[in-house]
Copies of this chain bind each other. A is one copy, B any other.
């Protein structure tokens, strides 16, 4: 039985959400040609939707020829070329696009060096053979830890030993490990605004969290009184893009050094920077050994690859050795060795450089489109030279909810800055769109902006309101 988790999306009626899910599965081949769809009643019950909603979704699929209806027998999937074909790329892209023509919430990447990766995987199996089957240190294989250490030295001017590095299957896992390492009784400060996910993970791990508000220089020290662990991204705050200046970094290091306090430096995204040089990492300024550096290849290489890592200060690594030796490594040996080769042979740097160029041109194209659009004078782009997004302030009396709703109706999926607050949202943070362009298909942008414009005065706007 088809089962979907239909997320409530502002401005997207349920029937449309359901229609998109089924359409996506048909395009991706998860629903095969000739397969019978569940009856409207059965599906409505299974998804706890009204039969009318399911009916509306089926009708849309019928009208677009994704399914056919057979007298007294039910609905069947039509033959559509799908992602299982040898050249799936356009279809796969289509499948993604089926969600929203312009999705400003998706994270890239748009490209991945499949052939190189595939070759390295074969090489690893040939070179390592049965060694791949022998036990792996729970911190990850030495070859990868050494490759990461070399990468950090060359690319981030971070000089650490492979012995300080722990490899894990994604940052979610490493956050949980850190809670066990630093202690569950501690209070963890997370950025406000920031990724709500980080707060959710810490809370699920059973620790108390406080929000650390930001001023122009980053995390406010006066919000750290209760906290003894600070999790933040000095190189590039999400979503404001703020880069913490040296003065504040030193102040925060001083805070951490005064007691049993720790700083978790989340350096995600630091690879994508366009004009300036990378900001030196906190970890490289840390004399007292209070900074834990974290980064992930899931973001810089591909979400498909669940390899993240953290660099522990020696004291913490000793604690890990002594108390957590029973854990097994969470990352496949095959991919650890493949990534080690990918790094040491210089493919990673090549990939990053290629993607940086790619993202830069995409970003510029989006900025041009925004300048060109009819209501450009209502938009102020808050540019930051880091990461894969920027903010656009919209001069409008409308609520952020209504704003995203209108965009959604025009086929633009976007979030507002206000959605990244867990507490009250300051006036200055309202009417700001977070333009996350890593995963967007920019060729769709002109049309979407056009549609957004056309809404002015048409039926889909509430009577009396104009576009923005």
Contacts and interface: CB of A to CB of B under 8 A. Distances in A.
Interface of A: 1, 3, 5, 28, 30, 83-84, 86-89, 92-93, 95-96, 106, 108-110, 112, 114, 117-118, 121-122, 125-136, 142-143, 161, 163, 169-170, 172-173, 176, 180, 184, 196-197, 200-201, 204-206, 298, 302-307, 321, 323-335
Given A121-B121, A125-B117, A127-B88, A306 B327 contact: no
Given A84-B127, A118-B125, A200 B326 contact: yes
A304 B332 contact: yes
Nearest to A2: B163
Contacts of A306: 169, 328-332
A306 B298 CA distance: 17
Contacts of A117: 125
Contacts of A302: 132-133
A68 to B, nearest CB: 23
B334 A304 contact: yes
A30 to B, nearest CB: 6
Contacts of A88: 127-131
Contacts of A86: 126-127
A3 B163 contact: yes
A303 to B, nearest CB: 7
A108 B96 CA distance: 41
Nearest to A138: B172
Nearest to A324: B204
23 contacts: A1-B163, A3-B163, A5-B321, A84-B127, A88-B128, A89-B129, A89-B130, A92-B134, A95-B131, A114-B125, A114-B129, A121-B121, A132-B302, A132-B304, A133-B304, A169-B306, A169-B331, A173-B330, A184-B206, A200-B326, A298-B328, A304-B334, A305-B334
B131 A92 contact: yes
A132 to B, nearest CB: 5
Contacts of A95: 131, 134
A422 to B, nearest CB: 13
Contacts of A324: 204
Contacts of A131: 28, 83, 88, 92, 95
Contact of A332 (B89, B114, B335): B335
B169 A173 contact: yes
Contacts of A134: 92, 95-96
Contact of A176 (B118, B176, B184): B176
B328 A136 contact: no
Contacts of A126: 86
A106 to B, nearest CB: 7
A305 B332 contact: yes
Nearest to A337: B304
Contacts of A173: 169, 173, 330
Contacts of A93: 130
A425 B170 CA distance: 40
A122 B5 CA distance: 31
A205 B201 CA distance: 14
Nearest to A162: B3
A136 B298 CA distance: 12
A124 to B, nearest CB: 9
Contacts of A333: 303-305
A26 to B, nearest CB: 13
Contacts of A121: 118, 121
Given A30-B143, A169-B330, 15 more contacts: A30-B142, A83-B127, A88-B127, A89-B130, A95-B131, A108-B133, A114-B125, A118-B121, A136-B303, A136-B304, A172-B330, A200-B326, A303-B333, A304-B332, A332-B335
